[in-house]
Amino acid sequence: MKDYLIYFAQAYPNFRRAELESLAAYHGISIDLSHHDEKNPFLIVKLENDEQARKIMARSILGRGIYELWGQGKNLEELHEDVKQRSSDRFDEYKKMSFKFDFIGYMGKRTTKEKFEMIESFSYLAFEGPIRMKNPDEIFDVLEEYHVHGTEKATTPINMWFGRQIQLSARTENILDKYDLRRRKYIGTTSFDAELSLVSCNIAQVGPGKITYDPFTGTGSFLVAAANFGGLPIGSDIDVRILRGKNDKCNINANFKQYGTTLNFLDILTMDFTNNAFRSDLKIDTIVCDPPYGVREGLKVCGAKDPEKAAGRENVVIDGEKAHLRKDFIQPKKPYELSNLLDDLLHFAANRLPVDGRLAFWMPTANDDFEPNLIPQHENLELIYNLEQEFNKWSRRLLVYVRRDDDFKGETSNGLRANQIKNFRDRYFKGFSQKSK
């Protein structure tokens, strides 16, 4: 095993461990991230080889890069001592290769003069290969952590590392700019944040050739994120208007054309998820979604509020054809509670996912009302992550479950109840100024 240094982005730090653990597990790689500190963007891990490091970091959104660790210290003198002691047997391997030095500073940086002086201080490496600023064989990085006191500018690092760059992440390749909602062809008021859509798909282990289903598609944020990772996305939504889009050039299909992933896109269906039209033996590899919260608009499913009145309309005939059998028939809808919808979602996942398949969905909670027993459970699904994105007085949580085999018997519980969702909705519009009973 070798030591590698991971450098994280300072975005959604409480999601970082889940993303890397999920990517490692996807590739069958064992990694210990138990000592991860959300306040620190640097983490040393042990891996077998560079190939494992590349696989873990290549599609990460919350990581920036991973480096073969050659040395570390509190200052430059300690760093040099550790490099010589730890890595001297590696020097000859890279003696003739082209190379360059890079500097990464967290909360501080070096002047150009200081960088040149520091590069000279590594002369004991005795590299004889040419220095190439573009496309060198190897890149060696000095990574530094500074501590800022108030408004004072940090000038001296508190930790230093030296390493060989192994792999930069998808984040460094401008993937967030590519999927930025402001640049997307078709979006709506409920389009999900691009960065967290990609992170959700990583934690859900979306991968090449895997059928990925979003039962509440909307404008397709999770579908396009899944396609980016090679998934085969399929979606459905009860609202045909949002699926059709504005016109032929501004719809969900246009998003896939924009990103060059049209061949991955399976289809979208106008469908009430609770009365889905999938054949019973269709296996879905991954489910990633953001169920409608019913905050701004109450949840609806197909059905009639008054079944007796609806039954009387079955005999209505238009142009010799029963109205409810016509293509232009608009299915009536009835109110539905999020608590019931989540129960249906877990039951669907338990029946459709393969063993080790993942369900990942977002659920809203009021911060002062949240208790672990509010999270819905199913006996065939194991909850492995409960990740919170906080918005002052309320949060939305990414809940991630794994389908287990028949030997696994967990708990089945409803979690949220109808009155809790109503209270959340009422408090949401009151700015959570008072606690509902």
Q: Do 399 and 370 have their domain in common?
A: yes
Count up the domains in the chain and report the number: 2
Q: Do 403 and 424 have their domain in common?
A: yes
Is beta strand 321-322 parallel, antiparallel or unpaired with respect to 317-318? antiparallel
pLDDT score recorded for residue 296: 55
SS3 93: helix
The answer to whether residues 304 and 310 touch, using CB atoms and an 8 Å cutoff, is yes
CA distance 177 to 174: 5
The domain that contains 399 carries what CATH number? 3.40.50.150
Assess if residue 435 is contained within a domain: no
End-to-end CA distance of the chain: 55
Is beta strand 358-366 parallel, antiparallel or unpaired with respect to 394-403? antiparallel
SS3 354: coil
List, for residues 324-381, the tens digit of each pLDDT value: 667 666 677 777 777 788 899 999 999 999 999 999 999 888 776 677 777 889 999 9
Range of the domain at 19: 2-173
- Check residues 320 and 36 and name the one with the higher pLDDT: 36
CA distance 35 to 45: 9
Q: Do 382 and 252 have their domain in common?
A: yes
Assess if residue 273 is contained within a domain: yes
Q: What is the mean pLDDT of the chain?
A: 89
Q: Which residue, of 137, 155, 173, is where some domain finishes?
A: 173
Residue labelled with tokens 């032929």 = 248
Q: Which two tokens stand for residue 256?
A: 């896939």
Residue labelled with tokens 């701004």 = 296
List, for residues 305-334, the tens digit of each pLDDT value: 666 665 556 667 777 776 666 766 667 777
Q: Do 159 and 258 have their domain in common?
A: no
Q: Which residue, of 173, 204, 231, is where some domain finishes?
A: 173
DSSP state of 133: S
Q: Do 70 and 214 have their domain in common?
A: no
List, for residues 384-430, the tens digit of each pLDDT value: 999 999 988 788 999 999 999 988 988 888 766 555 555 666 666 66
Q: Do 160 and 197 have their domain in common?
A: no
Q: Do 83 and 165 have their domain in common?
A: yes
Q: Do 27 and 112 have their domain in common?
A: yes
Q: Do 363 and 282 have their domain in common?
A: yes
Q: Do 325 and 234 have their domain in common?
A: yes
Distance of alpha carbon 126 from the chain centroid: 43
SS3 25: helix
Q: Do 162 and 252 have their domain in common?
A: no
If we measure between CA atoms, which residue out of 300, 234, 310 comes closest to residue 272? Answer: 300
